């Protein structure tokens, strides 16, 4: 009789995301992942050869989800749609949002990763960059700092508002939308980008 595996790679990726989101990247170890998943540590090593590999898979999962739910909304000149999508994603998926706040682009810097995994990480980042570029090209002329302005509108400004709530495990209040809408419109006006 064939014995079915009780744990799969997804269980350990989920556990790594949870540990990083709850305790920070420094707390993510193969042992911590095993404990969070309720699995023997050997099961983790059976599926992933290193901490870096499991974190890279976690980063791929969360970034792909972010791209599908948020960056895909960066398609046109309606930059507010992208900001609203980011707020919605952070509210619906706070664990994923906290994970991204913890890891930023760390897995890309791990030189020990297998070439195929590094290629997948680079491809995912290229997809995100392409979403941003499409939005940038769709905007009316925004001056010489258009890319920096758009990055502030879509990412840096919203993250500055939601980060304190996410890191303290609090719900993002409804008032955050009005604050970000006002900031969005003001920055676009200062940059001479017509608002939507």
**Does any domain span residue 146?**
yes
**Does any domain span residue 175?**
yes
- CA distances (Å), 40 to each of 23, 37, 43, 45, in order? 21, 9, 6, 9
Domain count, the chain: 1
**Does any domain span residue 34?**
no
> What is the b/e burial string over 92-131, where b = at least 16 CB atoms within 10 angstroms of the residue's CB?
ebbebbbbbbbbeeebbebeebeeebbebbeebbeebeeb
Say what the pTM is: 0.90
**Does any domain span residue 27?**
no
Overall size of the chain counted in residues? 196
Residue 118's domain spans which residues?
A: 51-190
> Helix or strand or coil: residue 24?
coil
* Tens digits of residue pLDDT in 4-62: 468 899 999 999 999 999 999 999 999 999 999 999 999 999 999 999 999 999 999 99
Query: What is the C-alpha separation between 68 and 88, in angstroms, rounded?
Result: 13
**Does any domain span residue 10?**
no
The terminus-to-terminus CA distance of the chain in angstroms comes to 63
**Does any domain span residue 6?**
no
* Tens digits of residue pLDDT in 150-194: 999 999 999 999 999 999 999 999 999 999 999 999 998 887 765
User: In this structure, are residues 180 and 83 in contact, taking their beta carbons and an 8 Å threshold?
Assistant: yes
**Does any domain span residue 2?**
no
């Amino acid at each position: 009789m064939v014995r079915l595996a009780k744990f799969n790679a997804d269980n350990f990726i989920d556990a790594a995301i949870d540990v990083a989101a709850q305790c920070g990247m420094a707390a993510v170890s193969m042992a911590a992942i095993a404990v969070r998943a309720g699995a023997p540590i050997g099961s983790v090593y059976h599926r992933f050869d290193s901490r870096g590999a499991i974190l890279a898979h976690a980063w791929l999962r969360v970034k792909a989800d972010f791209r599908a739910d948020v960056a895909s909304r960066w398609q046109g000149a309606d930059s507010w749609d992208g900001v609203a999508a980011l707020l919605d994603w952070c509210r619906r998926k706070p664990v994923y949002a906290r994970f991204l706040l913890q890891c930023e682009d760390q897995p890309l810097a791990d030189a020990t990763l297998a070439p195929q995994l590094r290629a997948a990480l680079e491809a995912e980042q290229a997809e995100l960059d392409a979403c941003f570029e499409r939005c940038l090209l769709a905007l009316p002329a925004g001056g010489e700092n258009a890319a920096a302005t758009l990055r502030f509108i879509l990412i840096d400004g919203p993250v500055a508002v939601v980060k304190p709530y996410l890191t303290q495990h609090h719900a993002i209040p409804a008032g955050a939308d009005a604050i970000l809408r006002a900031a969005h419109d003001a920055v676009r006006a200062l940059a001479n980008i017509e608002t939507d």
